[in-house]
Chains A and B, each alone.
Chain A
Amino acid sequence: MKFTGTDNYVATDDLMTAVNAAITLERPLLIKGEPGTGKTLLATEVAGALDMPFFEWHIKSTTKASHGLYEYDAVSRLRDSQLGDDRVQDINNYIKRGMLWEAFVSEKQAVLLIDEIDKADIEFPNDLLRELDRMEFYVYETRETVKADNRPVVIITSNNEKELPDAFLRRCFFHYIRFPDEETMEKIIAVHFPEIKKRLLKEAIDVFFTIRDVNGVKKKPSTSELLDWIKLLLAEDIDPEALREDATKAIPKLHGALLKNEQDVHMFERLAFMSRRQDS
């Protein structure tokens, strides 16, 4: 069982090695990288490529580790007890399974995505150590142990907002998705827009990397933004010639997809103005 990228996802060699190591050794894989480089997408694609069921656990700042295991719905039980419902006798009726539980008991080996783990409290990863290590946990309310028959492939993404504890890191494989170079970028675009004309592609990538290289851009456009932009270019049927012109003299057409900050837009307008003045 080996992951080698898919029709809609371009995986670099180092990423493939990391994914395969995580699958073979059944250890979690921690993915970091610039925003918009396809961290979250990876898990979906791995699940698709290896034909595994997919479970997704999004982390928010209020998420607690126990949410991923199970939740005991005390309120419902309290209400039911007041109404004299028979369900109240069985505590199992009030235990809601979390994503980890679902992934553990999945018939087939599953892929579990823990998305943006750094959003949660600093202690959050520590609370999951044993669960991810042994792939089992104890349900206090029912006094049973849930244990994974097939250890799921766990993929964890982080945006680096908080540092993760060492004990947690020790148990993971780690991969940092770098910003793709132009060659990889062409492949990525080809995957998303197979119909695109060669010239338009080249011009678009040129403009894109020029923008990324400009000093002082507050928010550099990411891969996903480039893809959005190309979608717009295709929809508007922009002529590649026009784009070439744009790169030096004016701010790129439909720039709204690339520049998300009014200071950046303003800066490009100024640069464009200056280059026009130099020309005349």
Chain B
Amino acid sequence: MFVQFFYNLKEARIPVTIREFLTFLEALDKGVAQANIDEFYYLARAALVKDERFFDTFDLVFENFFKGAMHKTAGLLDEYIPEEWLQGLAREMFSEDEIDKLSFDELMDELAKRLQEQDAAHHGGSKWIGTGGTSPFGNSGQNPAGVRIGGDGGGKSATKMWQRRDFRSLRGETEIGTRNMKMALRRLRRFVREGAEDEFDLQETIKSTADRGGMLDIKMRAERKNKVKVLTMFDIGGSMDSFIRISEELFSAVRTEFKHLEYYYFHNFLYERVWRQNRRGYNEWTPTWEVMNTYGPDWKAIFVGDATMSPFEITEIGGSIEHWNEEAGELWLRRFLGTYPDAVWLNPVPPARWMSTPSIRMTYQLLEGRMFPLTVDGLDAAMKLLRQGRQSSSRLN
């Protein structure tokens, strides 16, 4: 019966595999989770989800799948109703006499009947199955021992673990916050652990020399060193004001992570000059040509900007709102990409709005799709692409 659940998880893009699913079934078979639905949920999570970023999605799928199951199958229900609820229920509904007479099964039958009656709309009121009541069964109830049957939980205590969505903050696609920033940082660090330099390998030399019976055999190896050079271009144009904080966070992260880091600011779009200071000190600008000549193609370029502006600012000569540009911004970006073909663009604007904003769409096309949202996931994907270089970029997009 759980095969559909497996497919639902896959559909929700949680990376589950058949092997993990079989492990899960095996664990069920061996009786790891017998006691209650909570344990079942914990087991499913431990066996099928291997990254806390997917916990929240998992909770949603779980809720969706088992909501139906719990609602329809009376057989499942009796597993989840503890003795004491039934007793409380019985005291309310039946006389002492009847309780003695009715067996557990009969009580369950009675419950099933009541459940069916629930199909007819019935909200509030004195009958004990329905919505908004105080009885232990039904929906949105306030009874602390209540079992929830479908719908949204109103009473807090009837809410199951997976409905609380405790892991929402761990979702990868959430924006970069103070906590998530740390995560992103680690992704960047993974990225800098590469690059090669020659180094004398003492261990291997000794081993190899010993293997050859004492003949000296020198071995060399690559050094683990941060050789990555990063060139960051930050947009500090007016429309970026609302994203300043997040950009600053990224900036401080980038700064501490890379030994070879250069950064420049631009206003709205890349033109013939860029700035070193973000206070918009207009006098201290650097020609874009100079930047491209100083830092070779081995530098990795990262743009951070919302790319939100009038399309004229990209396509037209003199389109800049701040000065008269002799050449169109588009041309400058193309030139820049000629030097740094792997450049990525991080955009704090949610991807849903990219295609409907002309200037973002144009920038996206200029970059051949190498634009990523400024979220943990986006940063991750961008770094991956930067590291792998061009070959794989077409595949990813």
- Confirm or deny: B49 has a beta carbon within 8 angstroms of a beta carbon on chain A: yes
- A24 CB contacts on chain B under 8 angstroms: 27, 30-32
Contacts of B49 in A (CB 8 A): 174
Contacting residues, chain B, for A29 (C-beta < 8 A): 46
A94 and chain B: residue at smallest CB distance? B210
Residues of chain B lying within 8 A (CB to CB) of residue A25: 23, 26-27, 30, 32
* CB pair A17 B39 closer than 8 Å: yes
Residue of B17, B33, B46, B189 touching A170 (CB-CB under 8 A): B17
CB of B186 within 8 A of CB of A174, answer no
Which residues of B approach A to under 8 Å, CB–CB?
A: 15, 17, 19-20, 23, 26-27, 30-33, 38-39, 42-43, 45-47, 49-52, 55, 161, 166-167, 170, 178, 183, 186-187, 189-190, 193, 206-207, 209-211, 214
Min CB distance, A111 to chain B, in Å?
18
**A-B contacts besides A77-B210, A173-B47, A176-B52, 19 pairs, CB < 8 Å:** A17-B33, A18-B43, A18-B46, A20-B32, A21-B47, A24-B31, A24-B32, A25-B30, A32-B52, A72-B207, A74-B207, A75-B210, A78-B209, A162-B190, A163-B187, A173-B23, A173-B46, A176-B170, A216-B178
Q: Are A175 and B46 in contact (CB under 8 A)?
A: yes
A78 touches B52 (CB 8 A): no
Whether, in the assembled complex, A243 has its beta carbon less than 8 Å from a beta carbon of chain B, the answer is no
Q: Which of B20, B39, B210 has the most CB of A within 10 A?
A: B210
| Interface: A195 (CB within 8 A) | no
Q: Which chain B residue has the least Cβ–Cβ distance from A169?
A: B50
In the bound assembly, the distance between CA atoms of A43 and B65 in angstroms comes to 34
The answer to whether residues A174 and B46 also contact, given A20-B32, A25-B27 and a CB cut-off of 8 A, is yes
Given contacts A160-B183, A161-B189, A162-B190, contact A78 B210 (CB under 8 A): yes
Give the shortest distance, in Å, between B56 (CB) and chain A (any CB). 11
A residues at B contact (CB < 8 Å): 13-14, 17-18, 20-22, 24-25, 27, 29-30, 32, 72, 74-75, 77-78, 81-82, 122, 160-163, 166, 169-176, 178, 215-216
Closest 10 CB pairs of A and B: A74-B210, A17-B42, A169-B50, A18-B46, A14-B42, A176-B52, A173-B46, A174-B50, A78-B210, A21-B32
In the assembled complex, the CB of B216 is this many whole angstroms from the nearest CB of chain A, namely 11
Q: Complex Cα distance A81/B214, Å? A: 10
**For residue A72, which residues in chain B have a CB less than 8 angstroms away from its CB?**
207
Do A17 and B32 touch across chains, with their CB atoms under 8 A apart?
yes
Known: A13-B42, A160-B183, A161-B186. A30 touches B50 (CB 8 A): yes
Cα A122 to Cα B33 in complex, Å, equals: 34
- Of B15, B42, B46, B178, most buried by chain A (CB within 10 Å of CB) is B46
11 residue pairs A–B, Cβ–Cβ below 8 Å: A13-B39, A14-B161, A17-B39, A25-B27, A75-B210, A78-B209, A166-B15, A170-B19, A170-B20, A175-B46, A216-B178
- A13's partner among B38, B50, B183 (CB-CB below 8 A) is B38
B55 contacts A122, C-beta separation under 8 Å = no
Would B43 and A21 count as touching, CB distance under 8 A? yes
Tell me whether A74 and B39 are in contact (CB under 8 A).
Answer: no
The minimal Cβ–Cβ distance linking B171 to chain A, given in whole angstroms, is 13
Whole-angstrom distance between the Cβ of B196 and the nearest chain A Cβ:
14
Q: Which residues of A contact B210 (CB under 8 A)?
A: 74-75, 77-78
Q: How near does chain B come to A237, taking the closest CB pair, in angstroms?
A: 35
Measured CB to CB, the closest approach of chain A to B371, in angstroms, equals 23
Closest Cβ–Cβ distance, residue A10 to chain B (whole Å):
16
Q: Which residue of B lies closest to A217 (CB)?
A: B178
Q: How far is the CB of B174 from chain A (nearest CB, A)?
A: 16
Query: What residues of A have a CB within 8 angstroms of the CB of B50 in the complex?
Result: 30, 169-170, 172, 174
> How close is B33's CB to chain A, nearest CB, in angstroms?
6
Point out the residues of chain A lying under 8 angstroms from B161, CB to CB: 14
Q: In the assembled complex, which residues on chain A have CB atoms less than 8 Å from the CB atom of B47?
A: 21, 173
A75–B23 CA distance with the chains assembled, in angstroms: 44
Q: Give, as a whole number of angstroms, the nearest-CB distance from B45 to chain A.
A: 7
Residues from chain B with Cβ under 8 Å of A81 in the complex: 214
B190 engages A27 (CB within 8 Å): no
Interchain CA distance A176-B54 in the complex, whole Å:
11
Whole-angstrom CA separation of A177 from B52 in the bound complex: 10
Closest chain B CB from A74 CB (angstroms): 4
Asked whether, in the complex, the Cβ of B27 is within 8 Å of the Cβ of A122, the reply is no
Please report the C-alpha to C-alpha distance between residue A14 and residue B33 in the assembled complex, in whole angstroms. 11
Closest chain B CB from A157 CB (angstroms): 14
**Beta-carbon nearest neighbor of A62 in chain B:** B224
A217 to B: closest C-beta gap in Å: 8
- Contact, CB under 8 Å: B186 / A162: yes
Candidate in A72, A82, A162, A170 with the most chain B CB atoms within 10 angstroms: A170
A20–B30 alpha-carbon span in the complex (Å): 11
The distance from the CB of B44 to the nearest CB of chain A, in whole angstroms, is: 10
Q: Collect the chain A residues with CB atoms within 8 Å of residue B26's CB.
A: 25
Say whether A122 contacts B211, CB under 8 Å: no
A4 nearest CB across to chain B (Å):
12
Question: Complex Cα distance A170/B38, Å?
Answer: 23
* Shortest distance between the CB of A185 and any CB in chain B (Å): 15
Contact across chains for A21 and B19 when beta carbons are under 8 A apart: no
Alpha-carbon gap, A21 to B170, bound state (A): 24
**Chain A residues near B51 (CB, 8 Å)?**
169, 174
- Measured CA separation A25–B42 after assembly (Å): 15
Chain A residues, Cβ within 8 Å of B46: 14, 17-18, 21-22, 29, 173-175
Asked whether, in the complex, the Cβ of A178 is within 8 Å of the Cβ of B166, the reply is yes
Supposing A17-B43, A18-B42, A216-B178 touch, asked if A74 and B32 sit within 8 A by C-beta, the answer is no
Query: Which A residues are in CB contact (< 8 Å) with B189?
Result: 161
CB distance from A19 to the nearest CB of B (A): 9
Asked whether A163 and B190 contact (CB < 8 A) given A17-B46, A176-B55, the answer is: yes
Task: Find chain B residues with CB under 8 A from A75 CB.
Answer: 206, 210
Q: Which residues of B contact A216 (CB under 8 A)?
A: 178
**A78 to B205 CA separation, bound complex (whole angstroms):** 13
Which single residue of chain B is at the shortest CB-CB distance from A20? B32
* Cα distance A75–B204 in the bound complex, in angstroms: 11
Complex interface: chain B residues within 8 A of A166 (CB): 15
| Complexed CA–CA distance, A169 and B19 (Å) | 11
CB distance from A116 to the nearest CB of B (A): 13
CA distance A21 to B39 in the complex (A): 10
